[in-house]
Each structure stands twice: as C-alpha cells, then as structure tokens.
Amino acid sequence: MVYYLRSLLNLMGAKKVAQLYSNETNRGFLSFENFKRLFNSISPKLSEKIIFEATREVDRDSDGCISFKEFESAMKYGQEEVSLVYFA
C-alpha cells in the first residue's frame, strides 16, 4: 500500500496533497470517497478493493477518514528522513 501512496505523492507533489487537505472544506481530513477520487484521478484502473485497503491501512484511528497526519505518517513509513512537508 505504501507503494501506491508514494506513487500518488510523486505524481501530485507534497504541496498539492497538502492543498487538497486544506481545500476539503478546511476539515483537515479525507473521507474514503475523497481518497478514492484522488486515487482514480491518478490511476483510473486501480481497483476499489486496493483503494479501500490503502484507506484502511492509513486510517490508524479507524474513524473512516484520513487525516493529514495519518497520510504523512504513511508516507514516512520505512524512511529515515521526512519527505513530506505541510504547506499551509
């Protein structure tokens, strides 16, 4: 799953992802539907099952939404340096 998230970040860029979070009515999180739409815009042939599994894996508090902190944490998984910077 981390592979898909890193691919997503590489294609969109950290600033774009951060803007997505702030643009979603300033709630600071993405719902499954928002996350699915995001993945589909980058990789339309990705199955809903894979997107659902990615959402479930990233959603650490199991509230059904992905906070920016959860997304950032998933991006950092297995890395020694922080590669994602939040631009407000």
The pLDDT value recorded for residue 9 is 63
The pLDDT value recorded for residue 6 is 65
The pLDDT value recorded for residue 30 is 82
Written as tens digits, the pLDDT of the chain (88 aa) is 556 666 666 666 666 666 666 655 556 788 888 888 877 877 888 888 888 888 888 899 999 888 888 877 877 765 543 344 433 3
Sorted by where each starts, the structural domains of the chain and their CATH numbers stand as 2-76 (1.10.238.10)
Give dist(CA 15, CA 54) in Å, integer.
21
Give dist(CA 75, CA 71) in Å, integer.
6
Give dist(CA 53, CA 58) in Å, integer.
9
Q: What is the pTM of this model?
A: 0.59
